[in-house]
Structures are given as C-alpha cells and as structure tokens.
A and B are shown apart, each in its own frame.
Chain A
C-alpha cells in the first residue's frame, strides 16, 4: 500500500459541518491525489498535489479544498458538508513518472446526514 494511511476510516457528520480527511504517506512520493468513489461513477479525481503547497483541481473539486504543508501529508477539507458528499474517499500517491501506477490507501467512508 506504499505506506499510505487514511484517517479516519469511517466518519458520520451532519450537513453543514466542516470535515477534514487526512492522508499520510511514508514513501516520500511527490504526487498525491484525492478521489471519491460512487456507484456508477467509479473513481473521480477531486484534487491533486505535485509538491508541497502545489495543488490543482480535479474533475469534481467543487465543495472541497486541500492543503499540503508537508510532503507526507495531504488533507482534504469539506468546508460545509452536504449529503451529496457522502462517499468513499481514497488517497493515492504516484511513484515514478506520469504513466506509473497509483498506489491507494484503504479509503475513508464518509456519511453526511
């Protein structure tokens, strides 16, 4: 799993509350990614980072922000959680060049009630 730890593994929160998910890696990989997985949609990219303080938007970035203050940590924040953000969130890292495989964490299941 390329030393990727996601926390928490499960979270239930109420609509309108802020939520932060954490991804921690021990492999010193430069690139990190946040995806969400939903039935019928597969994995969709939310945000990614190509270095400390360098981040960019993915295809479903609305309602999410990220921060990367250290190489090993990539945080995903839902500023004001909505029910549509109920999902399983996966963090991934990339070792090597752009065409290399991604290495994923085991995910965080988020439920917004």
Chain B
C-alpha cells in the first residue's frame, strides 16, 4: 500500500533564499509524483511533476528531485518569493502527504 509522507509540517524562509520541501514514499510502483500548492480557501493546484524514470524536473523557479534508492523526493524553490507562501502537498497514485506550510518572509 502506497504511503506518502511529509514529515515537516512547516517551513519558514527569507525572501530570495532557497526553500526545500521534502517527501518520502513507501511504494515504487507508480509512475509519477506530483506537487500541488494550496492557498487558503482555495483548492490545491498542480505545480510540478516528475516521472519515476527521471531524477530531476525543472520549471522556472521550481525543481523537483527524485532519489529512488532513498524513496525520497524534494521540491526546491529558488528564489523564494512571498507569493510562494502556501501549503505544499506531494502526491502519488491519488494519495497525498500531510502537507508542508511554507512561509516566505519579506
């Protein structure tokens, strides 16, 4: 049974610095890992994904890294902006992690 875990409930960084959000999983059977971003009073929105056959995917300021041997993925945001303040979820096979609340301070 797949489990997706985000062990850091919150992260605070200074504007312009790097934000690194982490995610661990227990089952390697499924093809894609996705990251979603959620603002208050809105539904989650898709941010970036990575295929299990890759180890990196980049989209502008957002990069996701996948380490299959460690069953770990991370989302890097560089440079972080105050508008990035939100809750970030990683997901795989309809299962979501508990989320990490990112606060970017001006």
Contact = CB atoms under 8 A, between A and B. Distances in A.
Interface of A: 1, 4, 33, 35, 40-45, 48, 58-59, 90, 92, 98-99, 101-107
A41 B46 contact: no
Interface string B45-57: 1100101000000
Given A90-B43, A106-B43, A99 B32 contact: yes
B29 interface: no
Interface residues of B, number: 23
B11 to A, nearest CB: 15
Interface stretch (B14-22, B60-68, B91-99): B91-99
Nearest to A58: B94
Contacts of A4: 43
Contacts of A104: 43-45
Interface of B: 6, 9, 30-32, 34, 36, 41-46, 49, 51, 89, 91, 94-99
A35 B44 CA distance: 11
Given A43-B44, A99-B31, A48 B94 contact: yes
A101 B59 CA distance: 15
B95 to A, nearest CB: 7
Given A42-B89, A43-B89, A101 B97 contact: no
Contacts of A92: 43
Given A42-B98, A44-B96, A48-B94, A101 B46 contact: yes
B76 to A, nearest CB: 19
Contacts of B32: 99
B14 to A, nearest CB: 26
A75 B22 CA distance: 34
A41 B43 contact: no
A33 B43 contact: no
B44 A90 contact: yes
